[in-house]
Amino acid sequence: MAYDNENVFAKILRGELPNATVYEDESILAFNDIAPQMPVHVLVIPKRPYIDINDFSANGTIEEIGNFFAKVGEIARSLGLDEDGYRVVSNNGENAGQHVPHFHVHILGGRKIKEGGMARGM
């Protein structure tokens, strides 16, 4: 499957759609989810065009992958989520219900997630 340049996050990265930026550097963008499922719901994406975690883990460099996840933790700490805890979720492909085919993780926090609660319907 080829990367779809017209996906929503590609448009955000090109500046064609607005976003509420939480963090940005040369390789990563983090922004508030447009339909938050939790008091804090931030999406973190690499700027390079990876479809999903399969693509990112297979084709990203170890440095890129390591940097990405280090930044996910840094962003969560900057949002004050580390003390009470938070969830990091990545939906990949059809079975997981991935809607936007640009690799992303969701950082979800700000309240307790009920036991067994998944990314949606919490």
Measured distance CA(49)–CA(14) in Å, rounded: 12
Q: Is 108 in the site for ligand AMP (CB under 6 A)?
A: no
Measured distance CA(61)–CA(49) in Å, rounded: 13
104 in active site: yes
Choosing from 100, 110, 113, 117, the residue that interacts with ligand AMP (CB under 6 A) is 100
Residue bearing tokens 């500046």: 15
Choosing from 5, 24, 25, 34, the residue that interacts with ligand AMP (CB under 6 A) is 34
Amino acid at the residue 40: V
Q: Is 33 in the site for ligand AMP (CB under 6 A)?
A: yes
Q: Is 19 in the site for ligand AMP (CB under 6 A)?
A: yes
Q: Which of 84, 7, 92, 98 is nearest to 40 (CA)?
A: 84
Which residues are identified as catalytic?
A: 104
Residues found near ligand AMP in the complex (CB under 6 A) = 8, 17, 19, 33-35, 43, 91, 97-100
